[in-house]
Amino acid sequence: MDLKGNIRWFFQGSTTGAQRARKTARLLIVLALFAGLFWLVPIDQVLHAMLSADPHFFALGTALALVSLSLTSVQIEPLTRNQGIKHSIGSILAINLAMRFYLQFTPSTIIASGFRWYRLAQPGGKNVEALVALGFFRVMETFITLAMGVAFWLLSGRQSSLEISVVWLVLIILAIILSWLVVTRYSLSIYRWLENHSGGFLHKDPWNAINRRIVKVLNAVCAYANMPALDLLLAITAGVLSALVGIASGVILARAVGIDLGFLTMGWIQAVILIATQLPFTVAGGLGIREVTLVAILATLGIGADLALALSFLLFIRGVLLSLLGGVLEAIDAIRGRRSSPAHPAPGDFKEL
């Protein structure tokens, strides 16, 4: 097998050997990242900063993270309902928490995302509808994150003391709604026009695989072209509020280790981290990538690597606590026998969303 074939086998192969190779590569990348970080920053300094963290700030930051996740469930509810899938907000929150639990023990987000897809599709086995809803949610979440990250970066650079007012919040929501109306109605037709005028370029390897993914995402987006305005407003508003509460949680956790960051600054920092942790070679929700990204960004603000790593590990611990709550809910659900048939599929049956 030539070099090109080996690369294609590694990134696109579906055999057990290819999957094992990708998992091994992810783990090696994480180990290399941590080895480099702790070679530069003594681990005892990081532990001292973590142990010195204010427990009250940490508890408040964790509580706000749970509120943010609850708002995410509010965001998902109208998306699933418009696909004929009926789940209460509480049920979706339990599924999201359980997904975070499984995410801590999987080498990538594939199995955890597949779990959420399967659970949302029940009862009734509406697999396609759940896939479209989650696809649209993922695109919407990324769009909101990028839009708010850019907006906060511009605002923090010009007026670092500016506070987020109701006017700015309304303008951000209206801008996102307007953009989504344009995207859901015209993005697929525009992309099809570009595809037809590319001279077949997008249908050649390796761009063909990327092209198929883009078309799938745009199809999911266009499925909501006629979504009721109130449902769209609810989804976007809940998504924006979830992001804002998540930023507040990050600010408070930073205060816990003695880092004083403004709300706007944390807003664009968190956007960068969220995008970075979505890279395909991350494990356990971005472990390793999050640490390196946060150290690099905070260094430009004059914050030491020991405090940056302490903050990153507090973010990780916060995620673990929320995932344990999901594990408890899963255990209670299993004991009470509330899960409906058919039985849960094996993890190997999940495919990446």
Tell me the pLDDT tens digit for each residue of 220-245: 667 677 778 788 888 888 998 999 99
- Is 207 inside any structural domain? yes
CA distance 91 to 69: 12
- Is 175 inside any structural domain? yes
Tell me the pLDDT tens digit for each residue of 299-316: 888 888 888 888 888 988
- Is the pLDDT score of 214 beyond 60? yes
Tell me the pLDDT tens digit for each residue of 49-93: 788 889 999 999 999 999 999 999 999 999 888 888 888 899 999
CA distance 163 to 176: 20
Tell me what the mean pLDDT of segment 264-275 comes to: 86
Residue 322 structure tokens:
């929320």
pLDDT of res. 296 = 84
- Is 90 inside any structural domain? yes
| Angle between helical axes of 127-158 and 166-196 (0-180°, round to 10) | 120
pLDDT of res. 343 = 46
- Is 348 inside any structural domain? no
Tell me what the mean pLDDT of segment 188-209 comes to: 71
- Find the domain containing 322 and state its range: 39-340
Tell me the sheet residues that pair with 283. 287
Tell me what the mean pLDDT of segment 265-285 comes to: 74
- Is 31 inside any structural domain? no
pLDDT of res. 350 = 40
- Is 86 inside any structural domain? yes
- Is 347 inside any structural domain? no
- The answer to whether the predicted template modeling score (pTM) of the entire model surpasses 0.75 is no
Residue 345 structure tokens:
């599929």
What is the total count of domains within the chain? 1
- Is 147 inside any structural domain? yes
